[in-house]
Structure formats: C-alpha cells, structure tokens
C-alpha cells in the first residue's frame, strides 16, 4: 500500500508531484501537477481521472524521483478513502 503526504503550499520541493482531488457531480476526481520554481506549477494534460487512475499516473510520473513523496491536495468536502493508500 502506497503512502502519500498532505500537500501544504510552499512545503513541497521543486519536482514534487501533487495530486489534487475534488468533487464533481458527486464523484471524487483528480488531476496531477508538478511543482516548479517560482510557483508556476506544470499541470499535466489529462481529463478528470478516477482517483485510482490519478494515483497510478502520479506514481508513474514520480518514478524519476523515488525518494520524493507524492503530495495530495484535497478540495473542500473531499475525504480520503483508506483504500487509496495511507495519507500522512
């Protein structure tokens, strides 16, 4: 089971992958981005992804930085599901 970190603005290092989870039409969806210098993060082009697919994509993008955590940012009203992994 994978472990993820809560995202806090300014706490993630350059190159870190951030998964943003949000509610849309009663379902939790996500997209990923990479933290860049100067606050100009890069959002990876994707559609709204189901959480499992977004997590898998984030893990694949993070292969170049295996020691760096994947951060999770949750929109208001989103609750973490333990089936997705462990969230610190």
pLDDT, position 1: 66
What is the per-residue pLDDT for 29?
95
Burial (0-12, 13-18, 19+ Cβ within 10 Å), 85: middle
DSSP strand pairing (3-6 vs 17-24): unpaired
For the record, the structure tokens of 58 come out as 């984030």
pTM of the model as a whole: 0.88
Q: Where in the chain are the domains? A: 1-8+49-88
* Structure confidence by residue, pLDDT tens digits, 34-74: 888 876 667 776 778 999 999 999 999 999 888 899 999 99
How far apart are the C-alpha atoms of 7 and 20, rounded to whole Å? 9
């Amino acid at each position: 089971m994978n472990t993820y970190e809560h995202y806090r603005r300014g706490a993630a290092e350059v190159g870190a992958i951030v998964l943003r989870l949000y509610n849309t039409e009663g379902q939790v969806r996500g997209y990923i981005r990479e933290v860049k210098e100067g606050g100009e993060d890069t959002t990876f082009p994707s559609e709204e992804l189901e959480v499992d697919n977004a997590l898998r994509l984030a893990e694949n993008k993070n292969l170049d930085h295996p020691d760096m955590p994947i951060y999770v940012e949750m929109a208001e009203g989103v609750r973490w599901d333990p089936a997705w992994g462990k969230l610190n």
